């Protein structure tokens, strides 16, 4: 660990920035969602009640509006420092304490730069493009908010029964902005970049959507809150591990853990097998119409189905990440802004605040795709430690200690422990995925446009269809998400 | 068959990508190579800003106005003004200008200098707000005694031969440092020999006609003389 | 010779051609090259390189500077391999003058030149990966090793790129023992670093897709255009002046000249440069072992340096190919006429041929792979 100091610095920086981001969002939500309505309720008039309701309803959008710029600023810094660590450098460490304010300074610089509209450009479209690019990422993230705040009442309003559908629909709007910007810039490079982006988005949206549809198929719902809720109860229940295919195993182990007394050993052993049998063997046998005495066969088929399911979902996750990288134009799919070919693609002519908005949206989109992955595959705000292991490690005691410590804050409704924990877990998961994206950015070269199309249409789409079909069949033999 | 080959290829590709990712990720644990520049000055050996050295021991200005550097400079960025002193009939340096905006730091001037007066320091921080400010005059170019010693040590240039005391125009001024520096002189005799040899060597390396005459000269400008006196008195105090 | 990566849609789909002006201010043209591309969709149909943005009259300057002054200028002809330009001129002048070069100087020349070859290829490697889009991580690694070599150059020559180290008749300065041991340490760890680059790049499927079968340079075509250096060796022409027309102490050194057995594509040109770096490293190692004692210059380095009257030509194998210098001297302190044969200029001439019918994304992949350096083209 000759680089320990730098890693530590990155860790501290991340923690401090997370505190800043969540402090700001938390404070904004608290003031608008709780304090103001509380103050208004004392008036007891219809107008006051309505204002209070409006305030509460506005909380989700306000939190997103506060969250996105600060978070994007941090993500740029995170990426730069992360890349610096991968490339044996130090990264920005001058502005503010140890470079904490580097991107804030960059943002300020961009805001004060001259806003140039090139001659011959369509000024209206040119201005509209960054807005169209950025706006969907604000409202697109809404349903996720409900999923990651552990069903906090303030954010329930953001939920939709067709959540994932809405998110995907919103996330495909930005490409219009790119095409618009490319066309309006009156620059050939921009135009080529914009058109490439359109082609790319169309091709890669299909595997992206199909992989998410596979997850929805397992979950049986489009509601992201439901999908997150189903996966609660530790890492074995997450969709990435077959979406409850291992739940039987989980239950069986927890039963074994709960009966640790020696006298109950025998009993628990039998019940362990019983649980496995009831969860895996019986449904399989039932589905296949196998009678008694053919349990061995049913067991083999059930085990195979579980393995198949998990493998398929891993592939689906890979497909999702590939499609998502292409969707948000990150290396190795950053063809719309390929620097060595197209100068800077669709944003060649942009400067000042418009460029800042493009930049902001790019990183926000990265955050959103990472949070979709966290919710759809990694259990949303769920703690990765299974309940039985958590109990063994003294989880409840720790939780109660924290609860006690936070009691004064809970009483004034500043902190809601489940929401707090859920948010922490989500942010850890999301930033792990972002970190991986940074690593990929540091390694891979970029595709060529025709190879990209080949890869998308000839490899990813068939593969995603295969995965979809496999999951449809495997699901027949395994009880996914039992009892939820 | 096709499907199998596809799967194998996909597996290989994935493995290779992971190998690359791993190699990059393992760099996390290497020590960063960045030099934190203004906090920690790099220890460079570059041919940097040009400067005029003084004799590290006696603080005499080493330039003898031979104009070798002016002639060899490919960019013509050196400008020397000298006149023949009516008293001693020898060249006296009046002004020495180097336009660092023009200089390409080839180091030829330092190579041809017979007295190792003009040297490339390893200073590279010379940004200015105007081009005119990059034209350095004699005062800005001349190094202090300590700096000269540092560069003479660093570049392993043999110390210059001290000029003969009688040639110094102001006898009174020269007497003091001579008295103070007597033990030093004895000590540096062997070094002086080395310097002699070097000077002889250098002489060959020149178009002899010009080099010969200035070699004998001692021409330090008036202000230089003053500083010398001051330093001499400082030394005697010590 | 239609390969699967070549895209040809002409018979079915006819679109208007678009003229696109790439450079001189383009992030990937490695300097100030201007390419006028005629595009059909994204397919390049015709390329017109426009040179001369960096013309500095280096040949003319040679006639107006003394030998001593011109030595300091010629590093700028090809700033990434200044040792080779110096060497080519020094050799040409030595041919004209007939002066002896001490053996130690020859070994030092080989050593610093091979170091320079490594730095040049390392820079090429980094920038080439930038051309291919891996611009945030990998390029820093070659630059890290290059930095070490540049520091060594700085110590021995006093400058990181404009060395002015190889002089007519010998070299400028004797290296210290510390310098030699530092270099030795570098040569020992360098192969591991190359392994690292290869682990990241060589087998990377995306890299392979971008480079294999792209920009195939046929042997005959390359010979017709006078391509030299790694580019032509990757197409199977045995042309390495260090072997085919040995000079200096190269006959005494053991090294391989990698040679391809088929028409080289972009990937071959990449892999041959990687191999060359390894060979250069071996050469440096041998030189360090064999370095004799003695004089370092057969000619006094004085301002009035003169070369006897006569004319002569000498060439060295630079990282980009055959770098030749032709000199006519009338015995005065400056050249009567100097003419350079620059590898980049000749190599660039094939670009329109290679780019034909490739998509615009391959322009940089191919242009990068022939390793052209613009100051060397324009002089």
Give residue-wise pLDDT tens across range B200-212. Answer: 444 444 443 443 4
The owner of tokens 């250069």 is: C280
| Mean pLDDT (whole number) for A21-38 | 84
Which pLDDT score, from 0 to 100, does residue B169 have?
45
User: pLDDT for A37-73, tens place per residue?
Assistant: 888 877 778 888 888 888 888 888 888 888 888 888 8
Strand B50-52 and strand C43-50: the pairing is unpaired
Report the candidate in B214, B227, B51, B233 with the shortest Cα–Cα distance to residue B148.
B51
At residue B193 the predicted structure's pLDDT band, cuts being 50, 70 and 90, is: very low
Which pLDDT score, from 0 to 100, does residue A346 have?
83
Across A130-139, A407-416, A459-468, C253-262, least confident range: A407-416
Which pLDDT score, from 0 to 100, does residue C119 have?
92
User: pLDDT for B98-153, tens place per residue?
Assistant: 888 888 888 888 888 888 888 888 888 888 898 888 888 888 888 888 888 888 88
Which burial class, exposed, middle or buried, applies to A153 when counting CB atoms under 10 A from its CB (0-12, 13-18, 19+)? exposed
Report the candidate in C274, C285, C262, C197 with the shortest Cα–Cα distance to residue C230.
C274
At residue A269 the predicted structure's pLDDT band, cuts being 50, 70 and 90, is: low
Q: Which helix (H) or strand (E) holds C149?
A: helix C140-157
Which pLDDT score, from 0 to 100, does residue C118 have?
92
Measure in Å the smallest separation between the Cα of A361 and chain C Cα atoms. 20
In the predicted model, is pLDDT for residue A195 greater than 50?
yes
In the predicted model, is pLDDT for residue A308 greater than 50?
yes
The owner of tokens 């009966």 is: A259
Which burial class, exposed, middle or buried, applies to C113 when counting CB atoms under 10 A from its CB (0-12, 13-18, 19+)? buried
CB A74 within 8 A of CB A103: yes
In the predicted model, is pLDDT for residue A319 greater than 60?
yes
Q: Contact C204/B112, CB-based, under 8 Å?
A: no
| CA distances to C146, C185, C201, C277 from C195, in Å | 15, 17, 10, 11
Which pLDDT score, from 0 to 100, does residue B164 have?
55
Across A316-325, B14-23, B42-51, B205-214, least confident range: B205-214
First to last CA, chain C: 36
What class is the C58-355 domain? mainly alpha
Interface test with A, best of B10, B22, B28 (most A CBs within 10 A): B28
CA distance B149 to B171: 25
In the predicted model, is pLDDT for residue A273 greater than 80?
no
CB A71 within 8 A of CB A364: yes
At residue A481 the predicted structure's pLDDT band, cuts being 50, 70 and 90, is: low
Across A288-292, A318-322, A341-345, B125-129, least confident range: A288-292
Q: Contact A443/B20, CB-based, under 8 Å?
A: yes
Which pLDDT score, from 0 to 100, does residue C4 have?
52
In the predicted model, is pLDDT for residue B226 greater than 70?
no
Q: How many CB atoms lie within 10 A of CB A278?
A: 16
Which pLDDT score, from 0 to 100, does residue C139 have?
84
Nearest to A3 among B20, B21, B32 (CB): B32
Q: Contact B28/A87, CB-based, under 8 Å?
A: no
Residues of B in contact with C72 (CB under 8 A): 74, 104, 106-108
CA distance C323 to C144: 27
Phi, psi of B61 (to 5 degrees): -70, 135
Interface test with C, best of B8, B11, B20, B77 (most C CBs within 10 A): B20
Which pLDDT score, from 0 to 100, does residue A239 have?
81
CB A244 within 8 A of CB A217: no
Answer whether C134 touches B (CB < 8 Å).
no
| CA distances to A384, B48, C86, C151, C165 from C116, in Å | 54, 21, 12, 12, 12
Structure tokens belonging to residue B149: 């010693």
Structure tokens belonging to residue B191: 């070094």
Side-chain-side CA neighbours of A329 within 13 Å: the count stands at 29
Task: Identify the residue with better confidence: B145 or A257.
Answer: B145
CA distance A390 to C158: 64
Nearest CA in chain C to B17: C204
User: pLDDT for A91-139, tens place per residue?
Assistant: 888 888 888 888 888 888 888 888 888 888 888 888 898 888 888 888 7
Nearest CA in chain C to B122: C158
CA distance C40 to A306: 51
Which pLDDT score, from 0 to 100, does residue C66 have?
87
Let me know how long chain B is.
Answer: 238
CB A143 within 8 A of CB A371: no
C-alpha A79: how far from its chain's center? 17
In the predicted model, is pLDDT for residue A241 greater than 60?
yes
At residue A395 the predicted structure's pLDDT band, cuts being 50, 70 and 90, is: confident
For chain C, list residues with pLDDT below 70: 1-15
Residues of C in contact with A451 (CB under 8 A): 5, 209-210
Q: How many CB pairs under 8 A join A and B?
A: 45
Neighbouring subunits of C (3+ Cβ pairs under 8 A): A, B
Nearest CA in chain A to C24: A343
- Chain A residues with CB under 8 Å of a chain B CB are 1-3, 6-7, 84-90, 93, 439-440, 442-444, 459
Which pLDDT score, from 0 to 100, does residue B167 have?
44
Answer whether C349 touches B (CB < 8 Å).
no
Interface of B with A in 19-78 (CB under 8 A): 20-21, 24-25, 27-34, 36
Q: Contact B33/C199, CB-based, under 8 Å?
A: no
Which pLDDT score, from 0 to 100, does residue B178 have?
41
Nearest to A445 among C20, C140, C207 (CB): C207
Which burial class, exposed, middle or buried, applies to A458 when counting CB atoms under 10 A from its CB (0-12, 13-18, 19+)? exposed
Neighbouring subunits of A (3+ Cβ pairs under 8 A): B, C
Q: Contact A84/B32, CB-based, under 8 Å?
A: yes
CB C349 within 8 A of CB C30: no
At residue A1 the predicted structure's pLDDT band, cuts being 50, 70 and 90, is: low
| CA distances to A426, C44, C72, C154, C320 from A227, in Å | 14, 49, 71, 62, 59
């Amino acid at each position: 660990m000759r680089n320990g100091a730098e890693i530590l610095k990155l860790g501290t920086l991340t923690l401090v920035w997370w505190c800043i981001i969540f402090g700001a969002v938390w404070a904004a939500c608290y003031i608008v969602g709780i304090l103001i309505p509380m103050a208004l309720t004392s008036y007891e008039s219809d107008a006051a009640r309505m204002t209070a309701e409006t305030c509460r309803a506005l909380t989700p959008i306000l939190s997103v509006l506060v969250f996105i710029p600060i978070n994007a600023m941090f993500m740029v810094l995170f990426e730069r420092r992360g890349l610096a660590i991968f490339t044996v450098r130090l990264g920005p460490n001058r502005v503010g304490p140890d470079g904490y304010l580097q991107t804030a300074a960059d943002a300020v610089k961009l805001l004060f730069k001259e806003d140039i509209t090139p001659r011959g450009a369509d000024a209206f479209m040119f201005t509209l493009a960054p807005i169209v690019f950025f706006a969907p990422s604000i409202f697109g993230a809404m349903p996720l908010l409900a999923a990651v705040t552990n069903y906090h009442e303030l954010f329930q309003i953001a939920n939709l029964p067709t959540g994932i559908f809405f998110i995907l629909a919103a996330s495909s709007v930005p490409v219009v902005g790119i095409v618009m910007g490319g066309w309006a810039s009156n620059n050939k490079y921009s135009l080529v970049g914009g058109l490439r982006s359109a082609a790319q988005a169309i091709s890669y949206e299909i595997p992206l959507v199909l992989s998410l549809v596979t997850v929805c198929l397992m979950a049986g719902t489009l509601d992201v809150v439901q999908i997150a809720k189903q996966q609660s109860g530790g890492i074995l229940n997450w969709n990435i591990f077959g979406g409850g295919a291992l739940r039987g195993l989980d239950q069986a182990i927890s039963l074994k853990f709960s009966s640790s007394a020696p006298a109950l050993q025998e009993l628990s052993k039998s019940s362990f097998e019983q649980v496995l049998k009831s969860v895996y063997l019986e449904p399989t046998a039932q589905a296949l119409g196998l009678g008694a005495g053919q349990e061995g066969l049913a067991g083999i088929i059930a085990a195979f189905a579980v393995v198949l399911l998990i493998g398929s979902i891993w592939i689906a996750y890979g497909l999702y990440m590939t499609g998502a990288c292409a969707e948000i134009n990150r290396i190795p799919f950053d063809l719309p802004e390929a620097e060595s070919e197209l100068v800077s693609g669709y944003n060649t002519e942009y400067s000042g605040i418009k460029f800042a908005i493009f930049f902001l949206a790019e990183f926000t989109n990265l955050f959103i795709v990472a949070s979709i992955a966290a919710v759809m595959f990694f259990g949303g705000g769920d703690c990765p430690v299974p309940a039985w292991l958590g109990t063994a490690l003294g989880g409840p005691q720790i939780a109660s200690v924290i609860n006690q410590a936070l009691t004064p804050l809970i009483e004034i409704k500043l902190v809601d422990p489940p929401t707090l924990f859920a948010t922490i877990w989500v942010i850890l998961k999301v930033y792990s995925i972002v970190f991986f994206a940074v690593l990929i950015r540091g390694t891979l070269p970029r595709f060529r446009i025709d190879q990209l199309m080949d890869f998308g249409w000839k490899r990813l789409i068939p593969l995603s269809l295969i995965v979809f079909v496999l999951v449809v069949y495997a699901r027949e033999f395994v009880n996914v998400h039992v009892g939820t | 068959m096709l499907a199998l080959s596809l799967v194998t290829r996909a597996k290989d590709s994935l493995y290779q990508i992971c190998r690359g990712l791993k190699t990059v990720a393992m760099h996390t644990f290497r020590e960063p190579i960045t030099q934190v520049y203004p906090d920690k000055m790099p220890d460079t050996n570059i041919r940097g800003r040009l400067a005029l050295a003084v004799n590290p021991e006696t603080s005499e200005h080493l330039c003898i106005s031979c104009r070798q550097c002016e002639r060899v400079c490919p960019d013509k960025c050196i400008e020397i003004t000298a006149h023949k002193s009516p008293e001693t009939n020898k060249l006296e340096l009046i002004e020495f200008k180097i336009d660092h905006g023009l200089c390409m730091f080839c180091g030829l001037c330092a190579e041809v200098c017979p007295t190792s007066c003009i040297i490339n320091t390893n200073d590279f921080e010379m940004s200015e707000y105007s081009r005119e400010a990059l034209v350095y005059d004699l005062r800005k170019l001349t190094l202090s005694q300590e700096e000269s010693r540092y560069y003479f040590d660093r570049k392993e240039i043999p110390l210059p031969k001290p000029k003969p005391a009688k040639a110094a125009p102001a006898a009174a001024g020269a007497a003091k440092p001579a008295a103070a520096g007597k033990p030093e002189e004895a000590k540096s005799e062997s070094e002086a020999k080395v310097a002699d040899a070097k000077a002889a060597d250098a002489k060959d390396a020149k178009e002899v006609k010009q080099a010969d005459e200035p070699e004998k000269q001692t021409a330090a400008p008036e202000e230089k003389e003053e500083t010398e006196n001051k330093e001499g008195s400082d030394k005697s105090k010590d | 010779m239609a390969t699967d990566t070549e895209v040809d849609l002409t018979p079915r789909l006819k679109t208007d051609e678009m003229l696109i002006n790439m450079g001189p201010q383009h992030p990937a043209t490695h300097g100030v090259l201007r390419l006028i591309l005629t595009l059909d969709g994204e397919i390049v149909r015709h390329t017109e390189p426009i040179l001369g943005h960096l013309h500095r009259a280096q040949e003319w300057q040679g006639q107006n500077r003394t030998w001593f002054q011109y030595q300091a200028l010629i590093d700028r002809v090809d700033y990434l391999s200044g040792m080779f330009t110096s060497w080519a001129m020094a050799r040409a002048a030595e041919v004209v003058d007939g002066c002896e070069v001490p053996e130690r100087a020859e070994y030092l020349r080989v050593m610093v030149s091979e170091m320079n070859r490594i730095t040049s290829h390392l820079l090429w490697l980094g920038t080439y990966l930038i051309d291919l889009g891996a611009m945030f991580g990998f390029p820093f690694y070659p630059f890290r090793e290059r930095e070490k070599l540049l520091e060594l150059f700085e110590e021995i020559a006093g400058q990181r790129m404009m060395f002015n180290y190889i002089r007519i008749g010998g070299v400028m300065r004797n290296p210290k023992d510390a310098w030699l041991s530092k270099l030795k340490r570098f040569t020992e760890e360098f192969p591991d670093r190359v392994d690292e680059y290869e682990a990241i790049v060589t087998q990377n499927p995306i890299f392979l897709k971008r480079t294999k079968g792209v920009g195939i340079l046929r042997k005959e075509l390359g010979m017709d255009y006078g391509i030299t250096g790694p580019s032509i060796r990757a197409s199977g022409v045995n042309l390495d002046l260090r072997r085919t027309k040995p000079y200096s102490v190269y006959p005494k050194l053991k090294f391989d000249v990698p040679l391809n057995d088929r028409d080289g594509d972009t990937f071959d040109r990449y892999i041959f440069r990687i191999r060359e770096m390894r060979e250069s490293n071996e050469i440096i190692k041998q030189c360090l072992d064999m370095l004799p004692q003695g004089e370092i210059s057969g000619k006094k380095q004085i301002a009035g340096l003169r070369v006897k009257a006569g004319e002569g030509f000498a060439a060295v194998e630079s990282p980009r190919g055959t770098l030749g210098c032709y000199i006519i001297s009338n015995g005065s302190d400056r050249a009567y006429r100097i003419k350079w044969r620059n590898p980049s200029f000749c190599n660039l001439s094939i670009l329109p041929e290679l780019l034909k019918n490739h998509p615009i994304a391959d322009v940089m992949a191919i242009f990068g792979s022939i390793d052209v350096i613009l100051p060397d083209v324009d002089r």
